[in-house]
Amino acid sequence: MTPSPPRPAASAPAAPGPSAAGRAPDRGERARVEVFGIRHHGPGSARALRRALEEYRPDAVLIEGPPEADDLVSLAADPGMVPPVALLAYSPGRTPSPDGAEGTGRQAAFWPFAEFSPEWQALRYALGAGVTVRFCDLPAAHQLAQRQDQQAPGTPPDGDGPRPAAERPAEQGEAPGIRLDPLGWLAQAAGYDDAERWWDDVVEHRRDGPSPFPAIAEAMTELRARLAEPPEPERGLDPLPPGYLRREEQREAYMRRTLRRALKDGYERVAVVCGAWHAPALLEKVPAARDERTLRGLPKTKVAMTWVPWTHGRLAGASGYGAGVRSPGWYHHLFTSGDRPVERWLTEAARLLREEDLHVSSAHVIEAVRLAEALAALRGRPLAGLDEVTEAVRAVLCEGNDLPVELIRRRMTVGERLGSVPERTPMVPLQRDLRAEQRRLRLKPSAIDREYDFDLRKPLDLDRSRLLHRLRLLDVEWGVPQEAQGRSKGTFRESWTLLWRPEFDVALIEAGVWGTTVREAAAARAEAAAAQATALAELTSLAERCLLADLGDALPAVMRALADRAAVDSDVAHLMAALPALVRALRYGDVRGTPTGPLRTVVDGLVVRVCVGLPPAVTGLDDDASREMLGRIDAVHGALSLLGDGGHTDRWLRTLRGLADRDGDRAVHGLLEGRLVRLLLDAGRLDDAPARMARAVSVGTAPDRAAAWVEGFLAGGGLLLVHDDDLLRLLDGWISGLPGAAVAVVPPLLRRPFGGYAAAERRAIGERVRRLRGGAGPAAPRDDHGGEDNGEDGVDAGRATAATATVLRILGWEAPA
């Protein structure tokens, strides 16, 4: 496996030593303050930090993080707080105006914690030991204010926590500077060409031995000192965003201010836990007045803080998280496995593969362990790492197949763990209402895709469906209906795929301005959307969603807007596009018990207007426009069949019959005419379909129009040809009698309808043709004068009879004796 790029710079571990800040602190000062530079989300750092804190026994712990969260620290000790979790800072924003416009300027950021995060272990140690714990990074009020005009460096697009640019790995192929990738420099000095592998070997895979913090702190101090030496500029250029160095200076100034305040409050032994890059700066002698000048005049915004569940997948660097790791599931395993982590990992991988009905025995596991350990020994590693374990899995457990390896990567290496927060966590009312609904409906959030089939005739399943549809109106896509993917089409059954993502909590917080319950907020959001909608299709979709969500309070406003828009829209294409969704909504109303009187009035008006406007709309269409119109006609025809209204169906079929009867210059495009004849034939409104096809494919009709007519007629399925011998014989005779010039044109045009048939239908049509011919093969092609065509190459079909008979015998087309 190819190793991932080096880890972010500020995530390297460090700690204060005699040279941690380029000087030797006196004995009394070192006794009062210890700075532990760590790597974010590193199991080795977390394990070493826990041991160091137990040895140092501080009476105050300062942790890199937003100080607004100090009041939430006690929740980390609650049994209901199960990592991975994240601190969420958000700007409350403005309440929507009466016209439905939403407030602007809303910001949010996350500070994630896993069980193997050193900051989480520092929190749990402090709470367990009963000592004071505070966060010491630049307040979120300042960080979010800075992000309003410019995205904070290192923050991925979805807001996964503000992290400095130095915590991002260098781009492949560039020469990273010290600030951007200090781990790469340290790995190079140690003789490694991969910073990730070096870090795992010296820190993450360590279980015993001396603390790594003093040595890494000394290295970080040296690297920072090299940055300050003008004669020796660093190799390469740091691609730092504008203002990055200024913001880092502000962060470190605020950390020093918090440290001074803790000492002033009388704490005798203070432990500071921060990213390794910052550790030397916190022990540097900087005048307080200088830090105050650095922090003066910072922009500020109103923020609120809370805890939210997180997932291992969102801790992965592949998710875009600036301080992410490539294998959170593997790191969790290293941290929680007391002994023999390789054996336990491979055993779990074997169990996962057996659950997928793949044959994996205990002998496979034993051989995989031996291979992983042998690879580690050959590469000089203290413990088989993820690369060695993955290679052993691929070679032994998966026998070289990459597909099950990808399953293990997704389910184990990255992991699908979803954390939880206790009930007393601060939440907006909308979040609490959703949690109550989840308990009532027995729908538990999960980081794994879960499939649900709802029977809408059952009250529990009906309420579940309504909840998920209401959440979709609030842009919380917890559930995705499979009907949207082209699957379920029943009116009383629904299939859903449920997957909870952490950002849904932000969406719920933002949606809290619409109401305190999910139903109330969804109704208010629907009314606002109806007031702003300008397209008829948008309003019909909104009406359908309101019926699915059982939002009777919002439906009148949506229907008024829909009726007003439909009354002034003269585009038949828009009316035809809107009708199927409204008919589906009527059917949903029948099953769900939702009143649909106003919606029925709109549907009645649309059917009449479509029937009146369709004849002029299909006149003079080219090939592309005809194909688009064919789709609309099919959709309206299917919708009216679903509606089951005899009056509307009769009016529609009369309109189609009028279009199909056109001839001469008024005739519609061949594709449409063929489709109209087929629809009328299926509806029992036509008894001369063979005669119409005979005229459409006659010698006097242009081959391209005849092919288009046949394509339209055959669209939607080939069973008609299987059961109607007259039509099949007519079609076979037309194709067999095509003139030589048309042979190269017509068959490709017919490939589209026949290619869309199921294999069983095509096979049945072929068998039917063979029986109609009495078992003989295809008829000989004819020339333009009705005689046998010798072809352009001069082949005489009569002389080729013997060869033809042999080929037909091989193909099974030999005529019966």
Q: How far apart are CA 26 and CA 283, in angstroms?
A: 12
Nearest to 197 by CA among 376, 357, 349: 376
First to last CA, the chain: 66
Instruction: Give 3-state DSSP helix, strand, coil % of the chain, rounded to 5.
Output: 55, 10, 35
Instruction: Give a three-class secondary structure readout of 157-202.
Output: CCCCCCCCHHHCCCCCCCCCCCCCCHHHHHHHHCCCCCHHHHHHHH
- Give residue 136's pLDDT: 94
- Give residue 494's pLDDT: 87
Task: Tell me which residue has tokens 């915004």.
Answer: 301
Buried b (16+ CB within 10 A) or exposed e, 623-654: eeebbebbebbebbbebbeebebeebbebbbe
Question: 3-state DSSP call for residue 293?
Answer: helix
Where do the structural domains in the chain lie, given as residue ranges? Answer: 9-96+105-315, 337-415, 429-520, 578-789
Task: Tell me which residue has tokens 């190819």.
Answer: 2
- Give residue 13's pLDDT: 33
655, burial (CB in 10 Å: exposed 0-12, middle 13-18, buried 19+): middle
Q: Which residues, 6+ apart, have CB-to-CB distance to 253 below 8 Å?
A: 286, 290, 291, 294, 295
Strand partners for 422: none
* CB-CB neighbours of 743 under 10 Å: 13
Nearest to 154 by CA among 327, 320, 275: 320
DSSP sequence for 728-788: HHHHHHHHHT--HHHHTTHHHHHHHHHHTS-HHHHHHHHHHHHHHTTT--PPPPB-TTSSB
Instruction: Give a three-class secondary structure readout of 374-412.
Output: HHHHHCCCCCCCHHHHHHHHHHHHCCCCHHHHHHHHHHH
DSSP sequence for 590-647: HHHT---HHHHHHHHHHHHHHHHHHHHHTTT--HHHHHHHHHHHHHHHHHHHHHT-HH
List strands edge to edge, sheet with 270-275.
Answer: 33-38, 270-275, 60-63, 132-135
Nearest to 155 by CA among 75, 241, 40, 219: 241
Contact 324, 112 (CB under 8 A): no
Per-residue tokens: 276: 């390794």
- Give residue 498's pLDDT: 94
Let me know the angle formed at the C-alpha of 539 by 534 and 541, rounded to the nearest 5 degrees.
135
Output the CA torsion sign for 555, 559, 561, 566.
positive
Cis geometry, peptide bond prior to residue 83 (ω within 30 degrees of 0): no
Question: 3-state DSSP call for residue 512?
Answer: helix
Length of the chain measured in residues: 817
Q: How far apart are CA 10 and CA 178, in angstroms?
A: 11
Compute and round to an integer the Cα radius of gyration of the chain: 36
Per-residue tokens: 262: 């803790």
Contact 418, 309 (CB under 8 A): yes
Nearest to 705 by CA among 658, 737, 668, 651: 668
342, burial (CB in 10 Å: exposed 0-12, middle 13-18, buried 19+): buried
Nearest to 123 by CA among 49, 68, 197: 49
615, burial (CB in 10 Å: exposed 0-12, middle 13-18, buried 19+): middle
Question: 3-state DSSP call for residue 61?
Answer: strand
Nearest to 587 by CA among 474, 483, 476, 437: 483
CA 82 to chain centroid: 24
Q: Look up residue 269 and give its DSSP letter.
A: S
Contact 621, 669 (CB under 8 A): yes
Let me know the angle formed at the C-alpha of 49 by 12 and 14, rounded to the nearest 5 degrees.
30
Strand partners for 325: 316
Q: How far apart are CA 210 and CA 811, in angstroms?
A: 80
Q: How far apart are CA 372 and CA 365, in angstroms?
A: 11
Q: Look up residue 271 and give its DSSP letter.
A: E
- Give residue 67's pLDDT: 95
Question: 3-state DSSP call for residue 795?
Answer: coil
* CB-CB neighbours of 486 under 10 Å: 7
In the chain (817 residues long), the average pLDDT of successive 10-residue segments reads 32 34 42 84 87 93 94 93 92 49 58 93 94 94 74 36 35 46 73 74 73 83 72 46 77 93 92 90 89 91 91 76 77 86 92 91 93 90 86 93 91 87 91 93 90 90 93 93 53 86 88 90 92 83 85 83 79 84 71 64 84 88 88 89 86 90 84 87 81 76 80 72 69 65 59 68 73 56 46 60 73 56
Output the CA torsion sign for 128, 129, 134, 135.
negative
Q: Which residues, 6+ apart, have CB-to-CB distance to 413 below 8 Å?
A: 327, 329, 330, 386, 390
Contact 316, 112 (CB under 8 A): no
603, burial (CB in 10 Å: exposed 0-12, middle 13-18, buried 19+): buried
- Give residue 155's pLDDT: 37
The dihedrals phi and psi of 171, each to the nearest 5 degrees, come to -65, 145
pTM confidence score:
0.68
* CB-CB neighbours of 73 under 10 Å: 19
Q: How far apart are CA 542 and CA 125, in angstroms?
A: 52
Angle between helices 703-714 and 623-643 (to 10 degrees): 20
Task: Tell me which residue has tokens 């029992």.
Answer: 684
- Give residue 178's pLDDT: 60
Contact 588, 594 (CB under 8 A): yes
Nearest to 241 by CA among 306, 317, 164, 149: 164
Q: Which residues, 6+ apart, have CB-to-CB distance to 273 below 8 Å?
A: 36, 38, 49, 61, 62, 63, 64, 118, 119, 122
